[in-house]
C-alpha cells in the first residue's frame, strides 16, 4: 500500500513539472554571432595587408636574402586567444616576385600543414614570414595580396621595390635564383655571367636532383647569342648531358672576332627542366669546378651562386 501511494505521488510531481515546462514554451537565449568575414558585420574590414618587415622601398641591400613579414592591418583580425575563431589563420595570402606567376593561395592554417620551410605562419603572433634566398644583383619588385575564405580579395595590395647589390666582381650564377613552379610542369633557368670583362671561354658544371626534376632540353637563346657574339666572333661548344646522374657540362668558347673578347652581363645557356618528383624545394648547383677565362686565359670568376626551385 505504501509503495502504491509513493508511485502516485511521483506521477503527480512529474505531471506538474511537465505542465510548467509546456506553459513556459521554448527558452530563448540571445547569442551574439560575430563573423568578421561577413561585410554585414559591424566590425568588418576589407582585406588589407600590413607589411611589418621588408627591405625599405627603393633600398639597395647587400644580401642575397630578404625577409618579409605581414598580417592584416586591422587589429580585430589579429590573433586573440579570447576569440572563438582565429581569423588570422583563416585569411589567405599569395605573393609574387618580379611579376612572375603568383604563388598559390595559402592560409595560415594550411601553411602549418604544408611545412614549406621558406614561408611560415606563427600561431602565437598571427604573422606570416617569408624568406627569399638566392637573390641576384638586380632590381626586384615584391607583391603580396590577401583574400578572405569568402573569396573577397584585396583591391590595392602592397608593392615593394628594392635592389640587391651583394657582391663586386665577376659572378656566375643560376638565374633566376628563385624559381617557382607547379607540380609536374616545365620551367627553365639560365646560367648567367655578371660584370665579366674580355670573356673568351667557360667550363660550366651544373648538377641537380634527378629524382626531383629532369633536364628536358638546353638552348642558346637569342639573348645568349646577342651577348656572346658582341665581339663578332663565332661560338664553339661541347656538351655532356648526363641525365641519369643529374649533371650537365658545357665547354664554350668565343673564337675570332675582336681581341678584346666579350664584356658585360648576359645569359650563357638556358636549361629547361620538368618537375617529376614530390613537392618541395631543390637546389640547382653550379660546381666550384666551373671556370670563366678571359682573352689572356686568366680565370676571372670571383663568385658562384646556385639557384633553388620551389614546387607548390
For residue 261, give the C-alpha cell.
673578347
Cα maximum dimension of the chain:
127
DSSP 69-129: EEEESSGGGS--TT-SS-SGGG-EEEEEETT-PPPPPEEHHHHHHH--SSEEEETTTTEEE
How many other C-beta atoms are found inside a 10 Å radius of the C-beta of residue 274?
A: 14
CA 206 – CA 224 distance, rounded (Å):
17
Q: Which residue has the cell 605581414?
A: 70
pLDDT at position 224 is: 80
What is the full per-residue pLDDT of the chain (312 aa) written as tens digits? 444 544 544 444 444 444 443 444 444 433 344 689 999 999 999 999 999 988 765 688 888 899 999 999 999 999 888 777 899 999 999 999 987 788 999 999 999 998 788 899 998 889 999 999 889 888 999 999 999 999 999 999 999 999 998 888 999 999 999 888 888 999 999 999 999 999 999 999 999 999 999 999 999 887 788 888 887 778 899 999 999 999 999 999 988 776 678 899 999 999 999 999 988 889 999 999 999 999 999 999 999 999 999 887
pLDDT at position 232 is: 77
12-22 residue pLDDT tens: 444 444 444 34
Q: Are 133 and 118 in contact (CB under 8 A)?
A: yes
CA 309 – CA 307 distance, rounded (Å):
7
Alpha carbon distance, N-terminus to C-terminus of the chain: 81
Tell me which residue of 172, 124, 145, 135 sits closest to 302, measured CA to CA: 172
Amino acid at each position: 500500500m505504501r509503495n502504491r501511494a509513493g508511485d502516485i505521488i511521483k506521477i503527480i510531481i512529474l505531471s506538474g513539472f511537465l505542465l510548467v515546462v509546456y506553459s513556459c514554451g521554448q527558452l530563448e537565449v540571445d547569442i551574439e554571432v560575430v563573423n568578421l568575414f561577413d561585410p554585414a558585420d559591424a566590425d568588418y574590414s576589407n582585406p588589407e595587408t600590413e607589411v611589418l618587415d621588408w627591405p625599405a622601398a627603393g633600398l639597395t641591400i647587400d644580401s642575397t636574402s630578404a625577409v618579409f613579414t605581414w598580417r592584416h592591418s586591422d587589429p580585430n583580425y589579429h590573433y586573440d586567444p579570447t576569440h572563438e575563431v582565429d581569423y588570422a589563420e583563416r585569411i589567405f595570402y599569395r605573393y609574387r616576385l618580379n611579376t612572375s606567376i603568383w604563388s598559390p593561395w595559402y592560409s595560415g592554417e594550411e601553411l602549418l600543414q604544408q611545412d614549406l620551410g621558406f614561408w611560415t605562419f606563427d600561431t602565437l603572433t598571427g604573422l606570416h614570414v617569408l624568406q627569399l634566398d638566392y637573390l641576384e644583383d638586380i632590381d626586384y619588385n615584391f607583391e603580396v595580396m590577401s583574400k578572405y575564405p569568402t573569396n573577397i580579395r584585396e583591391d590595392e595590395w602592397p608593392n615593394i621595390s628594392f635592389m640587391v647589390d651583394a657582391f663586386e666582381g665577376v659572378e656566375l650564377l643560376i638565374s633566376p635564383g628563385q624559381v617557382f613552379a607547379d607540380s609536374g610542369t616545365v620551367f627553365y633557368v639560365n646560367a648567367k655571367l655578371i660584370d665579366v670583362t674580355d670573356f673568351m671561354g667557360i667550363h660550366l658544371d651544373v648538377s641537380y636532383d634527378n629524382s626531383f626534376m629532369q633536364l628536358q632540353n638546353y638552348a642558346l637563346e637569342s639573348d645568349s647569342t646577342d651577348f656572346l657574339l658582341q665581339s663578332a666572333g663565332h661560338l664553339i661548344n661541347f656538351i655532356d648531358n648526363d641525365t641519369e646522374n643529374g649533371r650537365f657540362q658545357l665547354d664554350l668558347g668565343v673564337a675570332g672576332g675582336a681581341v678584346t673578347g666579350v664584356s658585360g652581363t648576359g645569359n650563357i645557356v638556358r636549361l629547361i627542366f620538368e618537375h617529376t618528383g614530390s613537392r618541395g624545394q631543390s637546389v640547382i648547383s653550379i660546381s666550384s669546378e666551373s671556370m670563366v677565362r678571359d682573352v689572356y686565359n686568366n680565370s676571372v670568376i670571383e663568385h658562384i651562386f646556385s639557384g633553388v626551385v620551389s614546387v607548390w
